[in-house]
Amino acid sequence: MRRFAVYQLPWIAYAGLIIIVSSISKLPDPKIEFEYIDKLAHFGEYFLFFLLTYRALANFREGQPHFSVYIVSVVLSIIFAALDEYHQSFVKGRQSDIYDLGADTIGIVLGALLHYLFGRRKLSSRR
């Protein structure tokens, strides 16, 4: 139960938070004057979502995770992002945007790439 609370529960809670925020009809305007702040927010949101997804799946069982955990985590994260965009199309005042999904996907893929590269570097420095 402790393993679930430490590794899987944060991922589930964050996914729930994404769904809750996506269900809000009108989000407050950000105080930052930057044209692409929305895309940057999507990027960061799903960068973190990938990291939590990978962490949850990699620690589901004992032992070293295989490279396939990266692939499954990326695919699962992109599917969740696509379903979130689809969900927003039904929320009054919100809309589904392919560019938001693009920003989500870039965050996911970059998260996977950086995690993999830094993880390999960390392993090679231990040897």
Model's pTM, two decimal places?
0.89
Q: Of 52, 16, 42, which Cα lies nearest the Cα of 96?
A: 42
Residue 88 domain boundaries: 2-126
Stretch 101-123: mean pLDDT, rounded? 89
The pLDDT-based confidence of 122 (bands split at 50, 70, 90) is: low
Dihedral over Cα of 27, 32, 34, 37: its sign: negative
Total structural domains within the chain: 1
Q: What is the per-residue pLDDT across 18-59, written as a single tens digit (0 to 9) for each?
A: 999 999 998 877 777 778 889 999 999 999 999 999 999 998
Angle made by CA atoms 84, 85, 88, in degrees to the nearest 5: 90
**pLDDT number for residue 28:** 78
pLDDT at 117 over 80: yes
pLDDT at 60 over 90: no
Of the two residues 2 and 115, the one the predictor is more confident about is 115
Dihedral Cα 90, 56, 116, 65, nearest 10 deg: -140
